[in-house]
């Protein structure tokens, strides 16, 4: 490294550490790489996204840092995914080849047995010499040994494959646990919601924030009537509508099942209720059709409870208040926002 580059990188270091402290971001290698790139202005798109988040919420949370890192520095994760897929393909190919070999040996042994029994059947019909009888038995024994070795090898292969499958399952489970996105809808998942809500509560934006708990009405009945595949399509469409309103720091999460959570920074209760009403009306206008028949299905609606974070409040209390308002909306006939702005 040249002296000029050393001086330059040292200057970036002096800028990165204060930013991590200012926004209360953990000094992990991934976060350091993210903010180093930011202060170096080495990625225009990354800098723009960070600036927009800071402008909207006054900070950049751990969840957002992780999301930005994955989108801008994801080579390692992509490689891990490719390695995982290649391991599965190699395992399937190896097991397939071994099975084909074993089946081939089994066919050969079956042919040997058929021939042997045919020859032995002659004992009752005609006289076989002792040498001929011994030769027939030896042939059967030889075939038996071959198939025993083949099946034994296949059994060992199955045992090894089972171990490899268990390892891959653990790898996949860990990847799913570490992921921040819901696989079906593409929204942030519950793990990301918990982390983001904790970050907002510990350092609220200048004008505070509000929580929206949203639940699709009569969704179980819809699933029972039209099937879970159609239900999944509804969840995806709903998530797409929610994503359309994720601007100015607003973030949407799949909270669980047909329930969603939305964090609205820098909005007082009335403003958050207006956001909720806009979302409710948008979901109410969704047209659900069966792609096979073209038939229009029952309308989907959403009930929403809105609660504004109170300084010093416990997260459990905030969620409880939003949940209570959601159930009040349900009890009043659904397809509405509570409290009424």
Compute how many other C-beta atoms are within 10 angstroms of the C-beta atom of residue 118.
Answer: 10
In sequence order, what are the residues at sequence separation of 6 or more whose Cβ sits closer than 8 angstroms to the Cβ of residue 53? 59, 60, 64, 249
How many residues in the chain?
341
Residue 114, H or E segment: helix 75-120
Residue 14, H or E segment: helix 3-22
Within the chain, what is the greatest distance between any pair of CA atoms?
105
Edge to edge, the sheet with strand 337-338 lists: 251-256, 259-265, 209-216, 302-308, 337-338
> Do 252 and 239 touch, CB atoms closer than 8 A?
yes
Residue labelled with tokens 């992509």 = 78
> Do 154 and 99 touch, CB atoms closer than 8 A?
yes
**Closest alpha carbon to 171 in 63, 256, 86:** 86
Catalytic residue from among 80, 132, 258, 259: 258
**258 among known catalytic residues:** yes
Query: Which positions are annotated as active-site residues?
Result: 258
């Amino acid at each position: 490294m040249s002296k000029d580059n050393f001086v330059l990188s040292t200057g970036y270091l002096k800028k990165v550490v204060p930013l991590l402290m200012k926004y209360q971001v953990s000094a992990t290698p991934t976060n350091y790489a993210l903010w180093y790139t930011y202060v170096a202005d080495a990625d225009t798109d990354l800098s723009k996204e960070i600036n927009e988040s800071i402008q909207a919420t006054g900070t950049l949370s751990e969840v957002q840092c992780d999301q930005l890192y994955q989108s801008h520095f994801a080579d390692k994760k992509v490689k891990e995914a490719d390695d995982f897929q290649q391991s599965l393909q190699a395992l399937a190919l190896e097991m397939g080849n071994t099975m084909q070999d074993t089946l081939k040996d089994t066919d050969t042994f079956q042919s040997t047995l058929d021939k042997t029994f045919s020859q032995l059947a002659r004992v009752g019909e005609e006289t076989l010499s002792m040498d001929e009888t011994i030769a027939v038995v030896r042939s059967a024994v030889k075939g038996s040994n071959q198939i025993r070795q083949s099946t034994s090898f296949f059994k060992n292969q199955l045992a090894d494959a089972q171990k490899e499958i268990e390892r891959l399952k653990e790898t996949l489970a860990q990847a799913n646990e570490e992921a921040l996105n819901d696989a079906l809808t593409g929204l942030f998942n519950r793990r990301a919601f918990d982390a983001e809500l904790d970050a907002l509560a510990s350092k609220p934006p200048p004008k505070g924030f509000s929580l929206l708990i949203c639940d699709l009405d009569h969704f179980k009945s819809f699933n029972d009537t039209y099937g879970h595949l159609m239900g999944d399509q509804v969840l995806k469409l709903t998530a797409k509508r929610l994503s359309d309103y994720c601007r100015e720091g607003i973030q949407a999460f799949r909270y669980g099942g047909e329930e969603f959570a939305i964090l609205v920074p820098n909005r007082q209760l009335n403003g958050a209720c207006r956001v909720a009403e806009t979302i409710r009306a948008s979901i109410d206008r969704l047209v659900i059709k069966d792609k096979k028949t073209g038939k229009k299905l029952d309308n989907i609606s959403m009930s929403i409870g809105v609660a504004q974070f109170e300084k010093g409040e416990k997260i459990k209390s905030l969620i409880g208040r939003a949940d209570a308002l959601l159930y009040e909306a349900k009890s009043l006939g659904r397809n509405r926002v509570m409290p009424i702005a």
